[in-house]
C-alpha cells in the first residue's frame, strides 16, 4: 500500500465523486445530505487491519470531501458516517458500520453473512465489510484502437447469455478460462458466436453483486446477479485472473474485433441492501433517505416497486449522478456498446408515476459520451402503473412480452387469433408506430433468461423449481407452453419430432419478424434446465450450457435463419402500412390459405391458425417474398399469388436440419405447408 505521508486531510474538492488519484495524493468525495460528520478509514492492502480514521474536513452542499497528501493508487479505504439513528424519520446512521464508497471502482473482500453485518447490530463490522481500492488515473490498458461498433438496428441480432454459464462446460475453452470473461473471449466461444451470426451479446449482470442471506443459508447463490453492490466494478468471480477489470476489457476488445457488440444488463432499480432487515453495506449507512424511496405512511419502511426489498430513488440528484457516472464509466473506460435496464420504469418514476420526460431520460439524451449507445428497457416493474411497454422515449428499445406471449399462444395451441399474430410479426405498430417510433425499437423474443428455455417450453407444462427451496411456488405459473403430448423428456419419436418442429418454427418467427430479434443462449442447441423456469439461484449444471449434448442440426438451422434475415430482411426496415405503393403494390398483404384477403371475422377466428404474408417491399431482397404460416396440427394447402416467373422455396421449418434444406427450388400452387411449420418463398427472378 502507498501509505499517506501526512496524517491530516486537506479540504480538497467536492468533485468528482469517489476517490481520485492525482499528482501528490488522492481526493475523496462522498455525498450525504443528512450526515453530521464523515470519517475516512484507511486499511492495509488486504483490507483486514484498520490503520487510520481521518475526518473529512470539508463539506460543499451535500458532498463531504478531503485530499490526502502522499496517498496513491492502491490505497484501501471505507467510510463511517455519523448522524441520527431515527428509522421512523428515515435515517439509519451508525458510525460503527464501515461503509463502501458507492463510487468504488474496485472492491476489496467478499461479503460474508455474519451477524456483524446485519441491521443495526452495535458490533463493528470492519473485518467483514467491503472496502474500496483507489485506482490509478490511467492504468495504461492498450485498447489497440478499439471503438464501439454502432451496429445498425436493422443488422442487430441479440444473444442473451450468462458469462459463467455460457462456457463453464465448454470442452473447447481452456479449463482455467471456463466460466469467465476470458472464456467468453476464447477462440471456441467466439467461433460459436460467429457460426450463429449474432451481432451482439447481451450479458446478464456483470456488476459486482452479493448473495442474499436466505440463499446462502440454503447453500445457494444469486447466480443471475441481480443484486448489485458495485456499480463500477466487474464481478470478480467471472475472472480467470485477479484483475477482473483488465480481463473484461480484453474480452470486449476481442469481441469487437470479431464484429460483436457487448451490451450489459444493469440493475439501477434497487441495491443489495434489501429491506429494513437487510445489511448496512453502503447507501443505507451513508444517507438512507437520500438513496431510497421510503413509504409516506412510515419512513422506516421502503417502497418496494422492485420486489427486492428497496427501490433506489432516481428523483434524488446523487442517485441520478451515480447512474450516469456508472454508465459513462462502462462506455468510456470499458468500451461497452449499450445497456439493458432491469425493471426500467423505476428509472422513470417521478413524484406522480412514470414520466418518459423525466430527469433520467433527459440526462441520457444530452450526454455526449452516451450518444449512440443501445438502450434497452425491461419496460415493467411491480409498482403502481409499472407496465409501460411502448411508453419509453424514442430511440429506446423495449423487450416486447406481447410478442413473446402471442407467438407462444399462436403456435402452442392457446387462445390467440391471426390478427394478434400478424400485428406482432409486423412490428407491433399498436405499441410503437403510434408514437412515431421505429419498428426496431421492439425487441422480439419468445424466450429469455427469465422462464423456461425453448426446449423446456415444449417439454414441460408445469414448472419444476423444487431445487430453489421455495416449495415450487416461485417462477411463472402461466407459461403458455405445451409439452407436445407428454410431460418431461421422452423417447417417443413422434413427441420428439413435434417438439423439434415447433422449436424451429418459434426460432424462425423471432428471426424473420419485423423488430430487433433476441434469442437466449442455448436455445439454438437444445439447452434444458430440467423444467426449472426460475433458476436465478442455480449456479450448477441446471443452468450451465451442456455443450456435449448440443443439437448441431438446430445450431445450423438457427445460423441459416440469421443469415436469411441479414440477406433478405424479410419484413424490411420500415413500417408496412398495407396500402399500395406508387406502383399499385401493397407493402404487406395478408391472405388466407385460399389466397383471398382475410375478412374481419377471419382475423379474429381463434380456431384458424394458417395465414400468408405477401411482402412487396422486402427490405434487402431483390424480389417480393411470401411467408406462409401454418400453426394448425394438420397440413394446409396454400394458393399462391401469381408471380411472373413463379416462386422459389427458401426455407421450410418442417425440414429437420440445414442439410435437408433445399437450395432455392420452384414452388407450385397450391403449396402444401406441413402442420406447425412456416415456409418462406421468394419470387423467381425474371429471365
| pTM of the predicted structure, to 2 decimals | 0.95
Please say if 405 is a catalytic residue.
Answer: no
Query: How high does pLDDT run on average in the chain?
Result: 93
Active-site entry in 247, 303, 305, 378? 378
Instruction: Give the pLDDT of residue 585.
Output: 55
**Domain ranges in the chain?**
156-207+223-267+318-381+392-398+432-568, 588-683
Angle between helices 187-196 and 244-257 (to 10 degrees): 40
Residue 8 CB neighbour total at 10 angstroms? 11
Instruction: Give the pLDDT of residue 382.
Output: 96
* H or E, element range at 250: helix 244-257
Phi, psi of 616 (to 5 degrees): -85, -20
Instruction: Give the pLDDT of residue 117.
Output: 45
**Band of the pLDDT at 671, cuts 50, 70, 90?**
very high
Give the residue among 192, 366, 251 at the shortest CA–CA distance from 357: 366
Q: What are the tens digits of pLDDT across the range 479-509?
A: 999 999 999 999 999 999 999 999 999 999 9
Instruction: Give the pLDDT of residue 574.
Output: 55
Residue 685 CB neighbour total at 10 angstroms? 11
- Is residue 274 helix, strand or coil? coil
Active-site entry in 106, 313, 342, 441? 342
Whether omega before 16 lies within 30 degrees of 0, making that bond cis, reads: yes
- Per CATH, the number for 588-683 is 2.60.40.1180
**Band of the pLDDT at 387, cuts 50, 70, 90?**
very high
Q: What are the tens digits of pLDDT across the range 66-121?
A: 999 999 999 999 999 999 999 999 999 999 999 999 999 999 998 988 644 444 44
For the cut 50, the answer to whether the pLDDT of residue 367 exceeds it is yes
- Beta bridge partners of residue 302, listed in sequence order: 294
Q: How far apart are CA 151 and CA 372, in angstroms?
A: 10
CB 454 within 8 A of CB 514: no
Q: What are the tens digits of pLDDT across the range 211-245?
A: 999 999 999 999 999 999 999 999 999 999 999 99
Q: How far apart are CA 404 and CA 478, in angstroms?
A: 13
Measured on CA atoms in the order 241, 243, 248, 251, is the torsion positive or negative? negative
Phi, psi of 89 (to 5 degrees): -100, 5
Q: How far apart are CA 663 and CA 678, in angstroms?
A: 16
- The DSSP annotation for 113-126 comes to --GGGBTT-SS--T
Share of the chain above pLDDT 70, in %: 93
CA-CA-CA-CA dihedral for 601, 602, 603, 605, to nearest 10: 90
Give the residue among 192, 183, 197 at the shortest CA–CA distance from 151: 197
Q: How far apart are CA 672 and CA 630, in angstroms?
A: 10
For the cut 50, the answer to whether the pLDDT of residue 665 exceeds it is yes
Q: Which runs of consecutive H residues, i.e. helices, occur in 125-243? A: 163-167, 181-184, 187-196, 213-217
Q: What are the tens digits of pLDDT across the range 423-438?
A: 999 999 999 987 889 9
Indicate the DSSP class of residue 177.
G
Q: What are the tens digits of pLDDT across the range 142-157?
A: 999 999 999 999 999 9
Q: How far apart are CA 428 and CA 421, in angstroms?
A: 10
In our burial notation (b when 16+ CB lie closer than 10 A, e otherwise), range 122-147 reads: eeebbebbbbbbbbeeeeeeeeeebe
Instruction: Give the pLDDT of residue 661.
Output: 55
For the cut 70, the answer to whether the pLDDT of residue 23 exceeds it is yes
- Beta bridge partners of residue 520, listed in sequence order: 160
**Band of the pLDDT at 8, cuts 50, 70, 90?**
confident
CB 6 within 8 A of CB 25: no
For the chain, report the end-to-end CA distance as a whole number of angstroms. Answer: 77
Instruction: Give the pLDDT of residue 530.
Output: 98
CB 11 within 8 A of CB 66: yes
Instruction: Give the pLDDT of residue 347.
Output: 98
- Residues with Cβ within 8 Å of 234's Cβ and at least 6 positions away in sequence, in order, are 181, 206, 207, 208, 244, 245, 247, 248, 334
**Domain 156-207+223-267+318-381+392-398+432-568 listed as CATH 1.20.1440.230:** no
CB 569 within 8 A of CB 498: no
- Beta bridge partners of residue 200, listed in sequence order: 158, 261
- The DSSP annotation for 545-607 comes to --GGG--HHHHHHHHHHHHHHHHH-TT-SS---SSB-TTS-BSEEEE-TTSSPPPHHHHT-TT
**Matching fold, domains 156-207+223-267+318-381+392-398+432-568 and 588-683:** no
Please say if 381 is a catalytic residue.
Answer: no
Q: What are the tens digits of pLDDT across the range 546-604?
A: 999 999 999 999 999 999 999 998 886 654 444 444 444 568 899 999 999 999 999 99
Amino acid at each position: 500500500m502507498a501509505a499517506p505521508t501526512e496524517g491530516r486531510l486537506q479540504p480538497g474538492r467536492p468533485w468528482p465523486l469517489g476517490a481520485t488519484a492525482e499528482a501528490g495524493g488522492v481526493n475523496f468525495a462522498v455525498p450525504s445530505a443528512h450526515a453530521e460528520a464523515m470519517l475516512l478509514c484507511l486499511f492495509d492492502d488486504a483490507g483486514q487491519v484498520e490503520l487510520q480514521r481521518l475526518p473529512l474536513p470539508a463539506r460543499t452542499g451535500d458532498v463531504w470531501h478531503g485530499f490526502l497528501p502522499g496517498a496513491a493508487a492502491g490505497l484501501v479505504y471505507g467510510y463511517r458516517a455519523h448522524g441520527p439513528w431515527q428509522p421512523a424519520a428515515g435515517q439509519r446512521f451508525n458510525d460503527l458500520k464501515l461503509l463502501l464508497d458507492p463510487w468504488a471502482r474496485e472492491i476489496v473482500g467478499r461479503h460474508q453473512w455474519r451477524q456483524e453485518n446485519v441491521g443495526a447490530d452495535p458490533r463493528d463490522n470492519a473485518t467483514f465489510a467491503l472496502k474500496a481500492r483507489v485506482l490509478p488515473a490511467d492504468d495504461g490498458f492498450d485498447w489497440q484502437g478499439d471503438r464501439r461498433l454502432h451496429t445498425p438496428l436493422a443488422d442487430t441480432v441479440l444473444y442473451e447469455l450468462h458469462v459463467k454459464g455460457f462456457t463453464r462446460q465448454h470442452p473447447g475453452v481452456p479449463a482455467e478460462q471456463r466460466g469467465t470473461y476470458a472464456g467468453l473471449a476464447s477462440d471456441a466461444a467466439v467461433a460459436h458466436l460467429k457460426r450463429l451470426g449474432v451481432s451482439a451479446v447481451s450479458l446478464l449482470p456483470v456488476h459486482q453483486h452479493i448473495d442474499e442471506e436466505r440463499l446462502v443459508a440454503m447453500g445457494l447463490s444469486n447466480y443471475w446477479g441481480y443484486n448489485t453492490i458495485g456499480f463500477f466494478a466487474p464481478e470478480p468471480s467471472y475472472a480467470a485472473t485477479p484483475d477482473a477489470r483488465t480481463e473484461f476489457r480484453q474480452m470486449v476488445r476481442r469481441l469487437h474485433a470479431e464484429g460483436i457488440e457487448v451490451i450489459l444488463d444493469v440493475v439501477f432499480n434497487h441495491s443489495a441492501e434489501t429491506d429494513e432487515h437487510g445489511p448496512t453495506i453502503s447507501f443505507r449507512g451513508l444517507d438512507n433517505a437520500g438513496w431510497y424511496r421510503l413509504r409516506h405512511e412510515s419512513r422506516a419502511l421502503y417502497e418496494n416497486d422492485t420486489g427486492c426489498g428497496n427501490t433506489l430513488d432516481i428523483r434524488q440528484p446523487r442517485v441520478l449522478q451515480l447512474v450516469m457516472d456508472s454508465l459513462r464509466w462502462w462506455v468510456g473506460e470499458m468500451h461497452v456498446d449499450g445497456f439493458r435496464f432491469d425493471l426500467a420504469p423505476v428509472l422513470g418514476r417521478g413524484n406522480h408515476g412514470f414520466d418518459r420526460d423525466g430527469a433520467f431520460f433527459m440526462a441520457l439524451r444530452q450526454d455526449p459520451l452516451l450518444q449512440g449507445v443501445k438502450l434497452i428497457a425491461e419496460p415493467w416493474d411491480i409498482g403502481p402503473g409499472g407496465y409501460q411497454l411502448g411508453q419509453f422515449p424514442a430511440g429506446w428499445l423495449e423487450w416486447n412480452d406481447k410478442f413473446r406471449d402471442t407467438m407462444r399462444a399462436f403456435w402452442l395451441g392457446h387462445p390467440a387469433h391471426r390478427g394478434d399474430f400478424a400485428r406482432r410479426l409486423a412490428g407491433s405498430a399498436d405499441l410503437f408506430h403510434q408514437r412515431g417510433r421505429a419498428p426496431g425499437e421492439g425487441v422480439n423474443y419468445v424466450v429469455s433468461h427469465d422462464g423456461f428455455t425453448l426446449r423446456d417450453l415444449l417439454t414441460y407444462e408445469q414448472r419444476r423449481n423444487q431445487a430453489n427451496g421455495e416449495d415450487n411456488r416461485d417462477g411463472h405459473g402461466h407459461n403458455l407452453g405445451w409439452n407436445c403430448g407428454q410431460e418431461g423428456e421422452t423417447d417417443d419419436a413422434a413427441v420428439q419430432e413435434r417438439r423439434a418442429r415447433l422449436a424451429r418454427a418459434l426460432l424462425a418467427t423471432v428471426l424473420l419478424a419485423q423488430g430487433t430479434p433476441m434469442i437466449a443462449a442455448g436455445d439454438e442447441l437444445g439447452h434444458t434446465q430440467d423444467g426449472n423456469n426460475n433458476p436465478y439461484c442455480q449456479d450448477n449444471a441446471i443452468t450451465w450450457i451442456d455443450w456435449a449434448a448440443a443439437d448441431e442440426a438446430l445450431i445450423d438451422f438457427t445460423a441459416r435463419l440469421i443469415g436469411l434475415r441479414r440477406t433478405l430482411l424479410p419484413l424490411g426496415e420500415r413500417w408496412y402500412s398495407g396500402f399500395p405503393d406508387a406502383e399499385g403494390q401493397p407493402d404487406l398483404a395478408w391472405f388466407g390459405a385460399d389466397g383471398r384477403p382475410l375478412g374481419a371475422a377471419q382475423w379474429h377466428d381463434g380456431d384458424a391458425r394458417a395465414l400468408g404474408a405477401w411482402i412487396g417491399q422486402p427490405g434487402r431482397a431483390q424480389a417480393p417474398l411470401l411467408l406462409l404460416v401454418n400453426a394448425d396440427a394438420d397440413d394446409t394447402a396454400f394458393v399462391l399469388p401469381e408471380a411472373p416467373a413463379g416462386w422459389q422455396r427458401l426455407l421450410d421449418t418442417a425440414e429437420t436440419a440445414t442439410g435437408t434444406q433445399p437450395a432455392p427450388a420452384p414452388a407450385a400452387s397450391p403449396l402444401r405447408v406441413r402442420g406447425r411449420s412456416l415456409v418462406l418463398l421468394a419470387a423467381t427472378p425474371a429471365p
